[in-house]
A and B are shown apart, each in its own frame.
Chain A
Amino acid sequence: MKAAAALLLAVLAWPAQAAWTWGEALTVNSVQGAAIFPHLESANRRGVAVSGDTVGVVWEDNRDGSPQCYLAMKPAAAATFQPEVRLSQSDCFEPVVLALGAGRFVAAWEEAGKVHARVLPGGTAIRLTEAESVQVTLALRSDTLFAAWAEKAGRFKRIVVARLALVNDALSVKLAQPVEAQAPPDEQGWPALAVAGDGSVTVAWEDRRYRHSVPLVSHSRDGHIFTAPTRLTDHKSGSVDGLGAGTGAMRPTLSAWGEQGFAAVWLDKRDFLSGYDVYAAFDPGTRVFGRNLRVQDSFGDNMAQWHAQVVGDAGGRLVALWDDARDGSPDVWLADWNGEAFGDNIAVPAASGPGAQSDPVATLDAAGSLHVVWLDRDEQAGTRIRYARAGWK
Chain B
Amino acid sequence: MNLIRMLLAASCLWVTAVLADPPPGYPFVGFDAGLKAARASGKPIFLYFGRYGCAWCDHTNKKTFSDAALKTLYSDNYVLVYVDAESGNRLTLPSGERITEAELGVRLQAFATPLFVYLTPQGDKIMQIPGFKTVQDFRDYDRYVRGGVYKQKTLLEFLGGKS
> Which of B55, B96, B100 has the most A CB atoms < 10 Å from its CB?
B55
**B109 contact set on A, CB distance < 8 A:** 304, 325
Q: Of A41, A240, A251, A275, which contacts B111 at CB under 8 A?
A: A275
| Cβ A189 vs Cβ B53 within 8 A | no
Q: Of B19, B85, B102, B110, which contacts A187 at CB under 8 A?
A: B19
Q: How long is the Cα–Cα vector from A134 to B87 in the complex, in angstroms?
A: 13
Q: How long is the Cα–Cα vector from A240 to B85 in the complex, in angstroms?
A: 19
**A269 contact set on B, CB distance < 8 A:** 51
| Cβ B53 vs Cβ A306 within 8 A | no
CB distance from B117 to the nearest CB of A (A): 16
Q: How long is the Cα–Cα vector from A213 to B100 in the complex, in angstroms?
A: 16
Stretch at the interface among A74-82, A168-176, A241-249: A241-249
A93, CB-defined interface residue at 8 Å: yes
| Cβ A244 vs Cβ B19 within 8 A | no
**Residues of B92-112 whose CB lies within 8 A of A:** 95-100, 102-103, 106, 109-112
Q: Name A's interface SS.
A: loop
B57, CB-defined interface residue at 8 Å: yes
Stretch at the interface among A45-53, A204-212, A293-301: A204-212
Q: How long is the Cα–Cα vector from A39 to B85 in the complex, in angstroms?
A: 18
**Known contacts A134-B88, A135-B88, A273-B112: does B52 contact A248 (CB below 8 Å)?**
yes
Q: How long is the Cα–Cα vector from A39 to B95 in the complex, in angstroms?
A: 15
Q: How long is the Cα–Cα vector from A210 to B85 in the complex, in angstroms?
A: 16
B54, CB-defined interface residue at 8 Å: yes
CB distance from B57 to the nearest CB of A (A): 7
Q: Of B86, B99, B110, which contacts A206 at CB under 8 A?
A: B86
A392, CB-defined interface residue at 8 Å: no
**Known contacts A212-B53, A244-B53, A273-B112: does B86 contact A250 (CB below 8 Å)?**
yes
| Cβ B111 vs Cβ A186 within 8 A | no
| Cβ A67 vs Cβ B98 within 8 A | yes
> Which of A134, A190, A304 has the most B CB atoms < 10 Å from its CB?
A304
| Cβ A37 vs Cβ B97 within 8 A | yes
| Cβ A246 vs Cβ B96 within 8 A | no
**Known contacts A93-B90, A187-B19, A272-B112: does B55 contact A244 (CB below 8 Å)?**
yes
Q: How long is the Cα–Cα vector from A250 to B99 in the complex, in angstroms?
A: 16
> Which of A243, A269, A275, A304 has the most B CB atoms < 10 Å from its CB?
A243
B158, CB-defined interface residue at 8 Å: no
Q: How long is the Cα–Cα vector from A134 to B89 in the complex, in angstroms?
A: 10
Q: How long is the Cα–Cα vector from A35 to B95 in the complex, in angstroms?
A: 7
CB distance from A67 to the nearest CB of B (A): 6
| Cβ B86 vs Cβ A213 within 8 A | yes
**Residues of A184-221 whose CB lies within 8 A of B:** 186-187, 189-190, 206, 208, 210-213
8 pairs, A vs B, C-beta closer than 8 Å? A210-B53, A243-B59, A244-B53, A245-B53, A245-B55, A250-B86, A272-B112, A275-B111
Q: Give A residues with C-beta under 8 Å from B.
A: 35, 37, 39, 41, 62, 67, 93, 134-135, 186-187, 189-190, 206, 208, 210-213, 239-241, 243-248, 250-251, 269, 272-275, 304, 306-307, 325, 358
Identify 19 new A-B residue pairs, CB closer than 8 A, beyond the known A208-B19, A212-B52, A244-B58.
Answer: A37-B96, A37-B98, A62-B96, A62-B98, A189-B88, A208-B52, A208-B53, A211-B52, A239-B55, A240-B55, A243-B58, A243-B62, A244-B54, A244-B56, A244-B57, A248-B51, A248-B86, A250-B86, A304-B109
Q: Give B residues with C-beta under 8 Å from A.
A: 19, 51-59, 62, 85-86, 88, 90, 95-100, 102-103, 106, 109-112
